Amino acid sequence: MTPDFVRPSRAAVIAASVTVVLWASAFVGIRAAAPYFSPGSLALGRLLAGAVTLLIFLAVSRQGLPPRAAWPGIVTSGVIWFGVYMVALNWGEQLVDAGTAAMLVNVGPAVMALLAGWLLREGFPPRLLAGIAVSFAGTVIVGLSMSGGGRASVLGVVLCLVAAVTYAGGVVAQKPALRHATALQATTFGCVIGAVACLPFAGRLIADVAAAPLAITLNVIYLGVFPTAIAFTTWAYALARTTAGRMGSTTYAVPVVVIALSWAVLDEVPGWLTLAGGAMCLAGVAVSRIRGSGGADGSPQRDEPAPAVTPAR
């Protein structure tokens, strides 16, 4: 093994940092587009822009189609992760601020570990169950803090949790595909399948583009090109050069960056009770991803390349 798997190279650190910032900007971009685009049309617009960009990346790299064995995982992750996840997140961000959405969606890694314990028979260590309990308590606090906004805000919290669950399910479904396909292949065709699944929103997308200001439509294209296509590529680049534990810990920075960006761009900041609940959600995720003397991702510490799993935002 090379030292890069122990200590990430400067290029890998830069790539991971680019990913965190772009994923964080996606939450702010979705919130800005929410008044002009419906959840489904926003998801389709973003996925179309992302799919075109990724197909160009794929053509330039000459990787071609993934093997047949990879397609079941790609199709499943494409539908529930790129499709259902993005619609649920877009809908949720119409009802809650970007920072709250980011904190709730980042419960995903704990849900992912729970699904892996069940579907992949990885077991349920005590720290996983304790972390999930802490995260659940945090979501209850967030829900209570948002209840003053009426049923709509509570629905927004629920939708963000649906996004977290579908994100986790999509990653678990994608893992078998990554044994046969590259990260770029799995991401590209997952994005294409997600776009196909969202085609029923095509009519609404056309109407929304016609009515929305040009700056907002360009924002939708930005969401597809940068947080979807480019950020997935920089994530895969960094992941190939360090361990899963080191890369997984970088996603904890996303809500912090989202709150800072939403404050600067949208003049939105979650309330103190919401922030406390969100902090509990992230603390629960951190606890769930530690196993005794293992790595931060819940796996034994070892200096080897991590599987190319690419979470989306």
| pLDDT tens-place string over residues 14-72 | 877 888 889 889 999 999 999 999 999 999 999 999 999 999 999 999 998 999 999 99
Checking if the pLDDT of 312 tops 70, the result is: no
pLDDT, averaged across the chain: 77
**Residue ranges of the domains in the chain?**
3-288
Query: What are 228-270's pLDDT values in tens digits?
Result: 998 877 776 665 565 444 555 556 667 777 777 777 887 777 7
| Residue 219 · residue 29 · CB < 8 Å | yes
- Position 160: which residue type? C
What was the pLDDT predicted at 306? 38
Give the predicted TM-score (pTM) of the model: 0.77
Checking if the pLDDT of 287 tops 60, the result is: yes
CA distance 131 to 287: 5
Over residues 98-126, mean pLDDT? 70
pLDDT band at 285 (very low <50, low <70, confident <90, very high): low
CA angle 281, 287, 288 (to 5 degrees): 90
